[in-house]
Copies of this chain bind each other. A is one copy, B any other.
Amino acid sequence: MVDEQLKKLQRNGLKITPQRKLILDILEEFSQLTGEEIASLARDKQPSISTGTVYRNLKLLSELGLIRNVASIDGIRRFENASVHSHHLVCLRCKNTVEIDFCPMNNELQKLAEKYGFQIADHDFQIRGYCMECKKGA
């Protein structure tokens, strides 16, 4: 996992525990996982980990900005590693993601928002479909 993440924990007076490492590791490997999925993957590696701990840490890590909730068209809450500002291609089948070097946010859009007196906080852009592997099997 990214060392910076652990340092950020420490800087905030929080402890580095095996459980937190594990969660960060999982979100390093996969993106777009639900709380349940993360808990399940965590249990595979450390059976004693409790669901409460997983959710508590997901919340805490979100607040620290290390991970984030992501948009999802199906309405299901998922998490991803927040180490980069990025937009994704998300595979609807395997849930794997491909980062794309494209951000729709631009000056034109900023001005458009201002025209409505709207103050932008953040944005989200997501492209959903099927990755190369899953396209084959479909």
Binding site for B on A (CB under 8 A): 68-79, 89, 91-92, 98, 100-102, 104-105, 108-109, 112-113, 116-132, 135
CB–CB A113/B130 < 8 A: no
Oligomer: number of copies? 2
Chain B residues within an 8 Å CB radius of A128: 120-124
CB–CB B129/A120 < 8 A: yes
CB–CB A123/B125 < 8 A: yes
Within 8 Å by CB of A135, from B72, B102, B117, lies B117
CB–CB B113/A121 < 8 A: no
What would 23 A/B residue contacts be, using CB atoms closer than 8 Å?
A69-B73, A70-B73, A71-B72, A71-B73, A71-B126, A73-B122, A98-B118, A100-B113, A101-B112, A102-B109, A102-B112, A104-B104, A105-B127, A113-B129, A116-B131, A118-B127, A118-B130, A118-B135, A119-B130, A121-B130, A122-B127, A122-B129, A124-B128
Give the 10 A-B residue pairs with the shortest CB-CB distance, closest first. A71-B71, A104-B104, A117-B132, A69-B75, A75-B77, A121-B129, A120-B129, A123-B127, A119-B130, A119-B129
